[in-house]
Amino acid sequence: MIDDKILVWRFNRGSKDALCRIYEKYKDDLLGLAVTLLQDRSIAEDVVHDVFVSFASATGTFRLSGSLRGYLSTCVANCARDRNRLRAGRNVGLDSAEAKNSDCTGPLESAAGREESGRMDDLLARLPYEQREVIVLHLHHEMRFRRIAETLGVSINTAQSRYRYGLDKLRSIVNGMVTE
Amino acid sequence: MKRTENIEEYIRRGKPTVTTGESMDKRIVDDSFAVMDERLAVAKRSSAGAILSRKTMRLAAAAAVTIIVAALLLTLGRHTPNHPARPPQLAARSPATMVSMMSLRIAYQRGGWEALDSQFRTTLGQLGPGPSSLSMRQLLEGSNGS
């Protein structure tokens, strides 16, 4: 947190090194969020690109109120939502998400992790975008419901109900898969 | 299949780790730097403009102060040196008190020799010419009525 504040302070004074460090620190996390939300790597890359370029243009005037990770995640979520609206009506193939790696280090664990991660993507892709967004922001990015509600421009009750409906749907999908 | 009771934990553990590519990094960093440079250049220009405007403001303020001071000096200078001296006031009204030591001293303190001379003239004017045989006491007694 303090590290982020120092980075932001330097970034506001025109330090490119600070911008590079911020990018290096959060790039994978943000790309992961965008890929999970959009299920399309190329669009996700564009989203991360737009977010960082927009962030870079705020040099000198950027004020950090919460955590930098939370701020950037919110930007990615907002940008991803806009992109999702743009491509509304178009079906997204589940195969388009690519290059995902697991946190596991060993080859067997890595393979198992990739399988699990891919399965999770398949599961999340079956949810409506609004529910997927809340679940991913809350469970993968540890964002509080209040913050999610602010980001989405909805009430906290709406955010929580989207989360519950999403979880119920996932649970039923998983149950169905178990019984098959 | 994983247990479904704890679906939250299952989703949490299934968080994908996506790594960025080299070309993506380069594209984002280059574009961000370009935008940052542009932004910094604009900020420099605007700050220079602000400083310039402040200098202009300073110059304007200095000019205004100079004009006011000059106007004050001119106004004061017009009145002070060439102002006609006030006629010396008499230190007393009756001739008897006019020629008393205290009255004369006050007249001298107020207006110097001119005031003293004026006071003498006024006294003589009020008393008027008299016979030389009359003493000062008699003259004053007649003037003051005492």
Phi-psi region of A142 (alpha: psi -120 to 50; beta: other; left: phi over 0): left
Of A48-52, B5-9, B70-74, B76-80, which gets the smallest average pLDDT?
A: B76-80
pLDDT tens track for A4-39? 888 899 988 888 899 999 999 998 989 988 988 888
Q: What is the mean pLDDT of residues B7-17?
A: 81
3-state percent helix, strand, coil for chain A, nearest multiple of 5:
75, 0, 25
pLDDT tens track for A37-47? 888 888 999 99
Residues of B in contact with A20 (CB under 8 A): 29
What is the C-alpha to C-alpha distance for residues A104 and A113, in angstroms, rounded to an integer? Answer: 6
Contacts of B114 (CB under 8 A, 6+ apart): B88
Backbone angles phi, psi at B7, to 5 degrees: -70, -30
Whether A101 and B17 lie within 8 Å, measured CB to CB:
yes
Whether A56 and B35 lie within 8 Å, measured CB to CB:
yes
What is the C-alpha to C-alpha distance for residues A51 and A68, in angstroms, rounded to an integer? Answer: 13
HSE-CB of A76 using CA atoms within 13 angstroms: 30
Output the pLDDT for position A22.
92
Task: Quote the minimal CA–CA distance from B55 to chain A in Å.
Answer: 23
| Option in A57, A102, A178 nearest B39 (CB) | A57
Whether B28 and A48 lie within 8 Å, measured CB to CB:
yes
Q: Measured over all CA atoms, what is the biggest interatomic distance in chain B, rounded to whole angstroms?
A: 151
The A residues from 102 to 131 touching B (CB cutoff 8 Å) are 102-103, 116-117, 119-121, 123-124
Residue B83, classified by CB atoms within 10 Å of its CB into exposed (0-12), middle (13-18) or buried (19+), is: exposed
pLDDT tens track for B102-140? 788 888 888 888 888 887 788 777 776 666 676 767 666
Contacts of A70 (CB under 8 A, 6+ apart): A141, A143, A147
Confidence of residue B49 (pLDDT cuts 50, 70, 90): low
pLDDT tens track for A49-74? 999 999 999 888 888 888 888 899 99
Q: Using CA coordinates, name the residue in chain A closest to B10.
A: A120
Whether A120 and B11 lie within 8 Å, measured CB to CB:
yes
Residues of B in contact with A36 (CB under 8 A): 16
CA angle A171, A125, A147 (to 5 degrees): 80
CA distances from B96 to A27, B23, B120, B134 (A): 110, 117, 11, 15
Residue A100 has pLDDT above 50, yes or no: no
Residues of A in contact with B44 (CB under 8 A): none
pLDDT tens track for A156-179? 999 999 999 999 998 888 887 766
Residue B80 has pLDDT above 70, yes or no: no
Q: What is the mean pLDDT of residues B4-14?
A: 77
Token pair for B78: 């017009």
Q: Which residue has the tokens 């996390």?
A: A29
What is the C-alpha to C-alpha distance for residues A82 and A38, in angstroms, rounded to an integer? Answer: 11
Token pair for A36: 């999970």
Q: What is the mean pLDDT of residues A113-134?
A: 77
In sequence order, the β-bridge partners of residue B18 are A100
What is the C-alpha to C-alpha distance for residues A92 and A151, in angstroms, rounded to an integer? Answer: 24
Of A20-34, A130-144, A155-169, B55-69, which gets the smallest average pLDDT?
A: B55-69
Q: Is A101 on the interface with B (CB under 8 A)?
A: yes
Output the pLDDT for position B146.
43
Chains A–B, number of C-beta pairs less than 8 Å apart: 119
